[in-house]
Amino acid sequence: MLTSVQNNIRITAKRLGLNSRQIEEILKVEATHSFKITLDNKKQYNAYRIQHSSARGPYKGGIRFHPEINEDEVQALATLMSLKTAAVNIPLGGAKGGVEVDTRNLNMSELEELSRKYVRILAPFIGPKKDIPAPDVNTNPKIIDWMVDEYSRLTGDTTKASFTGKSLTNGGSEGRDAATGRGGVIVLKTLLDLSHDLNYNKALTFAVQGFGNVGSYFAEIASKNYPNWKMVAATDSSGGIYEKGGLKSSELSEWKRRGKKLLDYDSNNKISNSDLFGLDVDVIVFAAMGGILNEDNQHIIKAKYVLELANGPILSSVEGALKNRGIIVIPDILANAGGVIVSYLEWIQNLQNEHWDEDIVNKKLKDYLVVATKDIYRRAKKDRTSLKDAAFAVAIERILKAKQA
């Protein structure tokens, strides 16, 4: 994933005429914190916080608890965060954190101890004006609430602006849960409007790979706002289901909320994840994980649009092949930026000691994303490049400009 992200940056930067020193400036990580967390039971875990760029503002990015996390992946995700905040033009930089742990093997008090110790080690390097972490895969508002509490105890900070993604009663923002999925809907609709793809605006079919938090909110908000957009398939890690006539996203979400697998949902049309890739739909939504579309499976895709709601689901090595087949990739740093935009809004609310209604948050989210989508669409037209290349171009230029300021 790191190679893929860095390749994308190099390709765009060379096209923009940047010299090798400037390219290295963009790729360079500002600080790497790599450490071990030891629990009272003596179990040890590798942990990271990689701060990629603060050129445009304090570092921003989630903390992931995952057994297969490693330093390279955290660096790739930190780099993507810098590009994402720049692409949607919020005044923040990019970072990412992670602990190499399978949380299923921890009880609640061990999970709390791990979360608090992570903050204890990092406290000198994070904070409302330095680096504002958030939840990511396998971390949630409860974990973030422990982290904020630990940070406040250590530093005396009372703003709660040291982390975002907190619970609503602890300074979290309305609309954060749904923000990434909602953002995906806004970006897709705006692009269809801009490209005058009117057929799709009237009716389109979509399939969701990774019907979790992001995927299910995308499906629910899309179905609610645009009844002619029809979800015909959805999968999770177990596989999933296909219904030509359309699936009810709210019922599937309820099923998942009860902790059940999609493969066990009552349907005669079970599918695997590779079946989903080859479906003849207008839009395929990747909302599971990075690096899932590669040389071996890219040829299966039939959809006209691929919406990257996960981070880095398509390897840079296959983007050319997709483009040659007329498949339009809507890039992650735009498509899934809804989450970081509402995180930014949460941070502002905390600093100003305010709590905004969900309608206000959603309106601001939409405003940011419509402007960003228009910027990137127009840039792609002007430079005759893909949307991904245009998004990277816009982001790289903004970061470079800030570094030179």
Q: Which of 115, 235, 249, 385 binds ligand NAD (CB under 6 A)?
A: 235
In single-letter form, the type of residue at position 162 comes to: S
Binding part of the chain for ligand NAD, among 9-17, 65-73, 220-228, 235-243 by CB under 6 A, reads: 235-243
Supply the minimum distance, in Å, between the C-beta of residue 331 and ligand NAD.
12
Which one among 237, 297, 397, 402 touches ligand NAD, defined by CB under 6 A? 237
Residue 4 in contact with ligand NAD, rule: CB under 6 A? no
With respect to ligand NAD, which residue has the nearer C-beta, 117 or 256?
A: 256
Helix (H, G, I), strand (E, B) or coil at 306: strand
Nearest residue to 75 (alpha-carbon basis) of 48, 101, 115, 93:
48
Which of 99, 119, 132, 137 touches ligand NAD (CB under 6 A)? 137
For the bound state, the minimum distance from the C-beta of residue 332 to ligand NAD, rounded and expressed in Å, comes to 7
DSSP reduced 3-state for 367: helix
- Please tell me what DSSP assigns to residue 361: H
CA 180 to chain centre: 7
Segment lying near ligand NAD (by CB under 6 A), choices 116-124, 198-206, 230-238, 370-378 = 230-238
Q: How far is the CB of 167 from ligand NAD (least distance, A)?
A: 15
Give me the catalytic one of 60, 84, 96, 160. 96
Q: Is 289 in the site for ligand NAD (CB under 6 A)?
A: yes
Is residue 311 a contact residue for ligand NAD (CB under 6 A)?
Answer: yes
Q: Which of 345, 32, 18, 321 is nearest to 165 (CA)?
A: 345
Q: Is the separation of the CB atoms in 87 and 372 below 8 Å? A: yes
Q: Can residue 209 be called a binding residue for ligand NAD (CB under 6 A)? A: yes
Q: How far is the CB of 170 from ligand NAD (least distance, A)?
A: 18
Element (H, E) at 318: helix 316-324
Segment near ligand NAD (CB under 6 A), from 50-58, 306-314, 350-358, 368-376? 306-314
CB-CB contact of 73 with 89 (8 Å): no
Q: Does 180 bind ligand NAD (CB under 6 A)?
A: yes
Q: Binder to ligand NAD among 32, 89, 152, 273 (CB under 6 A)?
A: 273
Q: Looking at 94, 171, 210, 331, which residue binds ligand NAD (CB under 6 A)? A: 210
| Alpha helices per DSSP H over 123-212 | 141-155, 176-194, 198-202
**Residue 126 Rama label (left phi>0; alpha psi -120 to 50; beta):** beta
Reply yes or no on whether 96 is catalytic. Answer: yes
Q: Which stretch binds ligand NAD (CB under 6 A): 42-50, 141-149, 286-294, 318-326?
A: 286-294
What does the block give as tokens for 396?
A: 């790289």
**Count of chain residues binding ligand NAD (CB under 6 A):** 22
**Size of the chain in residues:** 405
- Regarding 213 and contact with ligand NAD (CB under 6 A), the answer is yes
Q: Minimum CB separation from ligand NAD for residue 176, in Å?
A: 8
Cβ atoms within 10 Å, residue 168: 12
Which lies closer to ligand NAD via its Cβ, residue 277 or residue 356?
277
Q: Which two tokens stand for residue 12?
A: 């765009």
Q: Considering beta carbons, is residue 51 or 336 the nearer one to ligand NAD?
A: 336
Please report the DSSP string for 139-163 in residue order.
--HHHHHHHHHHHHHHH---S-TT-
* Site membership for ligand NAD, residue 103 (CB under 6 A): no
At closest approach, how far in Å is the CB of 215 from ligand NAD? 6
Q: Are 70 and 107 in contact (CB under 8 A)?
A: no
DSSP for 39-54, written as a single string: -TTS-EEEEEEEEEE-
Distance of alpha carbon 103 from alpha carbon 192, whole angstroms: 40
CA dist., res. 216 & res. 207, Å (int): 11
Shorter beta-carbon distance to ligand NAD: residue 249 or 336: 336
Told to check if 236 binds ligand NAD by CB under 6 A, we report yes
Residue 173 near ligand NAD by CB under 6 A:
no
**The binder of ligand NAD chosen from 61, 97, 175, 212 (CB under 6 A):** 212
Q: At a CB cut-off of 8 Å and minimum separation 6, what does 356 contact?
A: 173, 174, 345, 349
Beta bridge partners of 63: 97, 135
Residue numbers annotated as active site: 96
Site residues, ligand NAD (CB under 6 A): 136-137, 180, 209-215, 235-237, 273, 287-289, 309-311, 336, 339
